[in-house]
Structure formats: structure tokens, C-alpha cells
Structure 1
Amino acid sequence: MLIDDYVADLSRALAGPAGPKRDLVVEARDSLADAADALEAEGFDRAEAERLAVAEFGEVTEIAPGFQDELTTAAGRRLAALLFLSLPVSVLIWSAIWRLYPDSGTPWQDRPVWYGAVSRTLDYVQAGAGVYGGIALLALGRGMRWIRRPRTITRSLGMTVMIALPVCGLLSSALTLTSGLPGEFDQMLPVALAELVTSAFWGLLLYGATRCLRLTRTN
């Protein structure tokens, strides 16, 4: 098998973030090319040198699992970073919205008695998910020398997002429906921008969580 064919098979065998995957495939190609160049310098023709380099490198089925572990960890690291940054940012954005929004004329007093408890619960869920994202980011970064099963952390991040997003969505909906806000509230520019940013964060989190769960799925 020539280098181009081997690298193509390796690329098809791997799944994960595009950037890290491309880097791993390029690294493998460069290593094979260097080995083939050395063999060619010893007197082998190019095709034979490439076949020998590929044979020494190892079968795709032997090499791919190690590369895939790196990609799975990279996917977990990306999701952890997004979880660590996005939820606190969302909390800050909406905190600013509530501070800027004039409370005059808004029937805050008509809110149900459970409104405060639900609001605090939402804050706790968002903060807890963000903190876990930070811990996981550290574990999948500098902590890799001590972590024996980064795959488990990556999967737990996906599960955290899949649980936290619906919970936050339900709690947010309950708060919005009982807040007594005027109908034009959503049409205010700061509110519309905040909703757009929050939706973008949630979409990225959902995508990242789905990928992490797929990569760590047991067959």
C-alpha cells in the first residue's frame, strides 16, 4: 500500500474535530514520507520505499485506536471549554438585561411564590455545569498525566450538557411565562441579542455533546 492510500484509509477510520484530525493525519503522512525518503536514499525505488514505510508504520487497525483516543479527548476538551465559558457568559448577559430593564410598570409583585426558588435553581444548574466544565477542562489538559480514562470524562461532559440544557430550558420557560413581562420585551434590541447569543451557545453545546456521546459510544 502506498502512502496516499494508507493515509486515506486512516482518515476514514478516524472521527472527531476536524482540526485535530487533520493534524494527526498530516503528522502520520509526514512520518511516512520521512521514512520513505530514508529508504529511497538507501537505494529502493519510490513505490517500494513507500510500501516498506507503510508496513513498518503498522496496520490502520493498529494505529487508528490510539489516534482516535486523542481525537476523543480533543472533543471533550472543546466541549469542556465551551461549557466553562458559555454558561457563565449567558448568566452575565441576562443579569445585565434584568438590571437594565426598568421595573416600573412591570407586575413583579404578581409573580408566584416559587419564582425565587426556581430562579436560584436555574442559577445553580448553570453555575454547576460551568464549574464542571472547568474541572473537566483541567483534567483533559494538564491533568492528562494522571487521568487513566479520559474517555469517561468526555462522555460525562456530553451527559452533563444533555441533562443541563433541558433543565435550564424548562426552568427558563417557567420563569418567563410567570414573569408578567410585556409582549414587546422580546423585541427590545438588547434582549434580542441576548437571546441570539444564548441560542448560539446552546446550539454549539448540543452539537459538541452529541459528538462526545457518539465518539464514546460502546459498541
Structure 2
Amino acid sequence: LQSIFDLDILATNIMKFLLLSILLLVNIVFSLQAQQKVNGYSVNEDENPFRQNRAACTTKTACTAKGGTCRKKKKNCTGLYVQVSQGCSSGCQCCIPDCTTSTSTCPSGFTLTNSQCLSFQTSSATWSNAQLACQRLGGRLAKAKDTSTLATYLQTNYAGQNFWMGASDSHSEGEWLWTSGGTVDSGIWYSGEPNNAGGGSGEDCMLWWGSDIYGYIDEPCTESFNYICEADLA
């Protein structure tokens, strides 16, 4: 009889231990979720360390010092800057909130990306039709304001895809101008570009070529590709 009594006590203690362990684990989970918030931004479930077979992004000081947090590279930093060069664990990028203004926002359909309101359109169109489509959205074909940062963003989030940009020399051969105004810096082009491979006025429009070389090239405006629209901050 004493043995049965002792077993009951042991079973009760084991149940208490298991219950306390579960409560402790739940508390840890909620604590980690609270710590994942940086400037009002929460890490999504793909980055949750409790998701099985998912390597969590480790946010480093170099990223948090700028008010950012690390996210998986396959995820866009919607409404945020992307600072890939900042310290994050492998396979992750540092997303930093835009601080250019506290009141400005992007129009509907556009996302603040690298200090620009951009909309990445993945339906093919000729350069002229892409420009018209952007105008219908309230914008224009995009200008590469920060060429290296935008290039990194495209490589990270749209690898293997090509996009029309808002520059052309169709008005005067060799004089490349942005549709938003201003001359295209000659240093923006991929090595050997623009080469006007078609001769004459064969290649008059700027394209981001992400299929292999990752750079800006000139292409015939009648070809159909994805395109990037840009709008002004509201």
C-alpha cells in the first residue's frame, strides 16, 4: 500500500513539473515575440525561431543601431529601406525604416524602397506601354537614384528578372535622359553599355538586365519586359 501511495506522489510531482515547464516555455515564447519588435516592426512567422526547419535571422548591432531588424532575403522590406550591407546573419537582410520624413507616404500601389516610391510590375510590356501603365498608376518609369543600392535590392528580391527603367535616347542618339528629367550618369551602365548593338537607333531604352550580368543595358524599346514605376512621395 505504501508503494502505491509513493507512486501517486511521484506521478503528481511529475505532472507539476511538466506543467511548470510548459508555462515557462510559453513565457519564453511571448518574451521573444516582444523582443522581435523594432520601431513598431515585427518579424514575420518565417523568421520565428520556433518554426521548424527555419533558420532564424540574427539581428546584429550594426542593423539595430540604425533602427532596423533582419529579415529573410526572400521577403521584401515593405515600406522600409533595404540595407543588405549591414550586419545580419547569412541569408538575411537589414530592413531600416525610412526616416526622410515623418509625414510623407507613398501613393496607393507604391512601396517606399531605398527612399523611392516604387512599384515593381512583373507583367511584360514594351517601353512605351510600360511608361503609359506607370502614368495610369500616377507615376512614371523609375529613375535609379541610388544605383548600387537599387541593384542590390533587385538582385536580392527579383533575381533573374529584367525591368525597364525610365531612361531613353530616342529623342537624340547617344543623349540619355531620365523621363523624370536630367541626364543619365555614364557610370551607371554595365561595362561596354550602352552599345546600341542594333545599329542606328536600334537600342534606345534602358533595361535592368537581371538574367545573368546584373546591370543596366540598352535594349530595343519594342521588346517586352517587366518594368518599375516610380511616384512622388505624397
**What's the TM-score once normalised by structure 2's chain length?**
0.22
Relative to its length, the structure with more helix (as a share) is: 1
Tell me: higher relative CO, structure 1 or 2? Use CA pairs within 8 A at least 6 residues apart. 1
